[in-house]
Amino acid sequence: MVEDQIERRGVKDEGVLKAVRKVEREKFVPNKYLDLVYSDRPLPIGHEQTISQPYIVAYMTEQLQVEKSHKVLEIGTGSGYQAAILAELANHIFTIEIIPELAEGAEKVLMELGYENITVRTSDGYKG
């Protein structure tokens, strides 16, 4: 996936590529979509939301130029996949999700994977 879908489209940041290789996308996708988990497309995660396609996640992350000393605020946790990618690069991730079920699911997966540098909150990001 990384070589075919991400590197070939121009993502070059080694930290981002390493993070995408390390974070198992299948942990963030409902079981019924596991056969599509590494396809270059968004996938449904419930509540009319999707996990972004791998290339978009890598591209957006590269554009941020995240460094180990950074603290990152993510609005819209969704599945937690983007937060996990960012957590591989930054000091701490603060992520907020308006849909309680998504926030709870993401937090559970992130905790199971051992991410101690991510704080998940359920709230409306529009309210600050």
| Catalytic residue set | 52
Partnered with residue 128 across adjacent β-strands are none
Rounded distance, CA 116 to CA 111, Å? 7
Q: In the chain, at which residue ranges do the beta strands (DSSP E only) sit?
A: 43-46, 49-51, 71-75, 92-97, 118-122
- The strand order across the sheet containing 92-97 reads 71-75, 92-97, 118-122
